[in-house]
Amino acid sequence: MSTPHRSNLFDLLRIAAASAVIFSHHFHITRTSPPSWLHSNMVGGVAVMTFFTISGYLVTQSWLRQPQVMPFLFKRFLRIWPGVLVAVLSNVFLFGVVFTSLPAADFLVHPETLGYFRNLLLIKDYPNLPGVFENNPLKHLMNGPLWTIPMESLCYLVLAGVGLLGVFRSRAIACVAGLAYIAFFLTARNADLTGEMRHWFEYPAYFTYGALIAVFRQEFHACAGRLLLVLAPLAALLFFGLHLEHSAGLLLLPPLLIFLGSLNVPSLAFLQRGGDPSYGIYLYGCPVQQSVYAVFPDMPFIPSLLLSIALAAVAGYASWHWVESPALRFKRFSPRMGARLPGPA
């Protein structure tokens, strides 16, 4: 998930997306009704789509640079798991112990607390802890956003498997495979058609779209502006005219995000100097929000939201500098198992 060395806006987009997740969840956490014109759940959904699109784009570039399964998976592990580990430990031993209604000793040996550590397996999410935030609207909820981490991990595994099968040896084959999955989602798992939200199919479609743009990276950047001029009115027709919101989002959002994220804006380069706190903001946003509401239940929505974002940003930068960035230094110990596969043709 490392970004290219030149200045770009991907970090800024991810920070905005992580903050948007906090904004979206804050209505539920504070039991506040959003304005009639605002679909707060859509804001959170677009934020997660942003993460998956950018991840698909950058991670696929990582594979194309070094098409070896073990080094690829090791790097992905270093990017995902250490942050989750410290987040889970802090959820239990800091937020949990402080905000549970149970005696600390009982809380720590409670089956649900012990089960919370299953989040470290990156297979399924376990968002609740016993007795925490009893007086909050979402009682017992510690970290809801953890549910996307197993999905992201699965995308990495599938990408490695597809690469191992040699799909990326031919850009034509990679294109057919990617478009086949996107077509499957649009026709068989699309909420516009089925009326049922299937995030486990939808968000990987954004990851796949980002991966396809990475495969055709040079061609995309050569015509991105013209492409967006064509896609924007089509997406507007789908969204406003035909009310196919999910289809419109998938059509326009990934190329728009990659176009914006790839912009070289020297005046904003200073934003990258402090590191990338977006993953930490995402991991700590929910427990911070729950804690803010538990301590200040009568605080108005906007001050409560701003305080939550500020505290989550502090946690995010701490996570980057003390956990994520140090963990990434171990990339040099990446295993060299497996032959290097040919690049795309």
Q: What pLDDT digit, counting tens, does each position of 120-150 carry?
A: 999 999 999 999 999 999 999 999 999 999 9
Q: Which single residue is written with the structure tokens 């009982």?
A: 106
Q: Which single residue is written with the structure tokens 């991840």?
A: 55
Q: What is the DSSP letter of 330?
A: G
Please state, for a pLDDT cut of 90, what percent of the chain lies above it.
Answer: 85
Planar angle of CA 70, 157, 161, nearest 5 degrees: 75
Q: How far apart are the first and last CA of the chain?
A: 23
Burial of 164 (0-12, 13-18, 19+ CB in 10 A): middle
pTM > 0.85: yes
Q: What is the pLDDT of residue 2?
A: 42
Q: What is the DSSP string of 64-88?
A: HHS--HHHHHHHHHHHHHHHHHHHH
* pLDDT over threshold 50, residue 169: yes
Q: What's the pLDDT tens digit per position in 176-188?
A: 999 999 999 999 9
Q: What is the DSSP string of 159-198?
A: HHHHHHTTGGG-HHHHHHHHHHHHHHHHHHS-HHHHSS--
Q: What is the pLDDT of residue 340?
A: 57
Please answer whether residues 142 and 116 qualify as being in contact, where contact means their C-beta atoms are separated by less than 8 angstroms: yes
Separation between Cα atoms, residue 279 and residue 274, nearest integer Å: 14
pLDDT tier at 266, thresholds 50, 70, 90:
confident
Average pLDDT of the residues in 267-275? 79
Average pLDDT of the residues in 69-98? 98
Please answer whether residues 282 and 145 qualify as being in contact, where contact means their C-beta atoms are separated by less than 8 angstroms: yes
Coil, strand or helix: which one is 128?
A: strand
Instruction: Compare 340 and 1 and report the one with higher pLDDT.
Output: 340
Torsions phi, psi for 35 (to 5 deg): -55, 155
